[in-house]
Amino acid sequence: MNENAVFIKTEAGEDAVSKRTIVQRNLRSVLIMIDGRTPVGNLAQQFGDPLIVEGLVGELEHRGLVRRVDSASVEEDADRSELSSIMVDIEDLVSQPITPVADDIRRAHDRSSAKESPVLDEFAMAIPELTAPAAAVAVAPPPPADSDDVRGAIRRAMMTSSTDAGVEDRTSGPLRRLFDLFAGRVSGADRKGPPSSLARRLAVGSLLLVVLLVGLFFFYPYSRHLPHMEQLASELLGQPVRIASVSPSIFPEPSIALEGLRVGDGGQLDVATVKLIPRVLTLLSERTVMREVRIERAGLNIAFLPELSKRQDINWASRWLKVERISVIDSSLLLLDGSIGNLNGTLDINEDGALTRLSLASTDGGLKLQGSIESGVWNVALTALGWRTPGQPSLLLDVLEATGTLNSQRLQFDKVDVKLYGGYAVGSLSIGLASPASVEGEMTTSRLAVADLLKVFAPTLLLTGDLSAAIAVRGEGETLEGLRRTLRASGKLGVQRGQIERVDLVQAVRIPRADGVRGGSTRFDDLEGDVVADASGLSLTGATMSSGLVGAQGDIRLADGLINGRLDVSLRGSATTVRAPVSIEGKYADPVVRLTR
């Protein structure tokens, strides 16, 4: 067949598609694909096997369901369609059984066709006499006579049919008797054997059927369909899909398990197991329906999410496969080389196989992530209750609410509200997904408990008070570690109603010692300054501390568990004010305060 030949459906072909009169799956599939524009060669490429497609197109043309655009005329198609319909009617007519009763009635009617024969009256008089004799008694029909009329023919045919049925009951075997029993043609008196014999046979038959189905389920060679499954999944998702193996699974319910599934050119989505749970009655239909697709132990890169939701103009796989529900179990969301794991939830896809909605939550319910796509952009919402951030150091968030958008280039949280360590933090955060990844954000905090916060970052540094800050965050890197090393936060910092333990500024000025002063504490009302924090440590410049009659100004550096500061301390008395420079040096747990003049 010429690969450039173009076919179009005839009227009979259109009727066959709409009325679903063709039950053979491949033949109906090719008939649907023929549109009057696509050459046979292109149809063969879409179907996968050119020889099969050419044979199926020839069969459709022979039946008069399609025609070549440049050859057959409309009148010829109509004649061929009419001939095809006539042939179907003839086949149906030939397949109808002709019973002996109908045959005898026909012959009797031929013999009584004289005008003086009251056929209708004889037939009406014969109706009360058409009672069949008992099944156990076989009455031989009387010999035919030339004077037979319709009534005699009907009576003989009924008795002959009754006798033949009795012989058939005795000779057709137990299977025929079982069918007659369900059809109501065998009475209780005609059953042979004890009453329990039929139930025992049904039980044995059912058991054999179950054993056969179980054996077929576990020993069927599923791997022979692996290339087709990969092709179907690739077309459904619009991304290349590779499957390591396929096997039956019995837990938590019978299903087909796809092991080692990778989606995307770079493996942006890795799935340990995908379990397919079909609706059994649709397995042999034209479109298979999956009641549930269960994804277990998957890892999805957040940057790959927009690619999975790209709209596809034509998706042939969606015509053969429909997925009702997708569930996610023990899976993770990946960002760079970090992850948020132990997530369960559901995914929604449209008729074309594109991902449209997701709903995920951590196993303990502390973290929830919702997402839906609109105009090619994902709208995401993140909520958390009593959730610890992954990695180190880890922050405990009492409440987290964040909303924003996600596209192929950036994850943008326009509004972030956090309650933690007795205070609040609000701001925005933007994460660039290109290489290298970047982070930008702004955050304003109020009334954070400094002591609780320092337990995370510097547990041996003893400082109390309420922290307020307004900072901007910047950083970039190929990995989370690289991002952490370049991350830099800068802005204004203030601590109210606080106390510094193991640092006594008043004692160091009033009673100086050569080896410095250890221990004690310094209370203050306000501590403010410009703060810069990065991977190397924290610097507080232009710091100003005030507490009644005590004040101090200077710079403080915290890094690697050590404190290093230079302050000008002022003590106001009733008559004079004493000013003295001091230094603070040493470990967080045992700093030394010295007078430096």
Residue 445 lies in a domain: no
Output Rg (C-alpha) for the chain, integer angstroms: 44
Name the band, by pLDDT with cuts 50, 70 and 90, for residue 85: low
> Is 154 a residue whose pLDDT tops 90?
no
Question: How far apart, in whole angstroms, are the C-alpha atoms of residue 132 and residue 155?
Answer: 9
> Is 410 a residue whose pLDDT tops 60?
yes
142 and 61 in one domain?
no
Beta bridge partner(s), residue 586: 563, 591
105 and 73 in one domain?
no
Residue 105 lies in a domain: yes
Question: How far apart, in whole angstroms, are the C-alpha atoms of residue 123 and residue 128?
Answer: 10
Both tokens of residue 189? Answer: 């008196």
359 and 496 in one domain?
no
350 and 260 in one domain?
yes
Number of domain units in the chain: 4
577 and 529 in one domain?
yes
Residue 202 lies in a domain: no
Residue 144 lies in a domain: yes
Residue 212 lies in a domain: no
Please report, in angstroms and rounded to a whole number, the separation of the first and last CA atoms in the chain.
104
Question: How far apart, in whole angstroms, are the C-alpha atoms of residue 404 and residue 412?
Answer: 5
104 and 33 in one domain?
no
**Residue 83 has what pLDDT?**
52
112 and 87 in one domain?
no
Give the distance from CA 436 to its chain's centroid.
Answer: 30
> Is 132 a residue whose pLDDT tops 80?
no
Name the band, by pLDDT with cuts 50, 70 and 90, for residue 42: confident
397 and 335 in one domain?
yes
Both tokens of residue 277? Answer: 């749970």
**Residue 125 has what pLDDT?**
45
- Please tell me whether the overall predicted TM-score, pTM, comes out greater than 0.75 for this model: no
- Residue 210's contacts (CB-CB under 8 Å, 6 or more residues apart) are none
**Residue 19 has what pLDDT?**
73
Residue 453 lies in a domain: no
**Residue 308 has what pLDDT?**
79
**Residue 162 has what pLDDT?**
45
> Is 35 a residue whose pLDDT tops 70?
yes
**Residue 315 has what pLDDT?**
61
- Give the closest residue to 53 by CA, choosing from 29, 21, 81: 29
Per residue in 509-556, pLDDT tens? 888 888 899 999 999 999 999 999 998 999 999 999 998 889 999 999
Per residue in 254-309, pLDDT tens? 888 899 999 988 778 999 999 989 887 887 777 888 889 999 999 998 888 888 77
- Residues for the chain: how many in total? 597
67 and 109 in one domain?
no
Both tokens of residue 263? Answer: 């989606």
In which domain, by residue range, is 399 found? 227-416
Average of per-residue pLDDT across 141-146 = 46
317 and 376 in one domain?
yes
Question: How far apart, in whole angstroms, are the C-alpha atoms of residue 292 and residue 518?
Answer: 68
245 and 134 in one domain?
no
* 494 or 514, which is more confident: 494
Average of per-residue pLDDT across 114-123 = 43
- Residue 83's contacts (CB-CB under 8 Å, 6 or more residues apart) are 64
End-of-domain residue from the set 95, 129, 153: 95
Q: Is 352 within 8 Å of 311 (Cβ atoms)? A: yes
Residue 402 lies in a domain: yes
137 and 90 in one domain?
no
Backbone angles phi, psi at 457, to 5 degrees: -95, -35
**Residue 345 has what pLDDT?**
95
What 3-state class would DSSP assign to 21?
coil
Residue 129 lies in a domain: yes
End-of-domain residue from the set 45, 75, 95: 95
Q: Is 297 within 8 Å of 273 (Cβ atoms)? A: yes
Least confident range of 217-221, 243-247, 311-315: 311-315
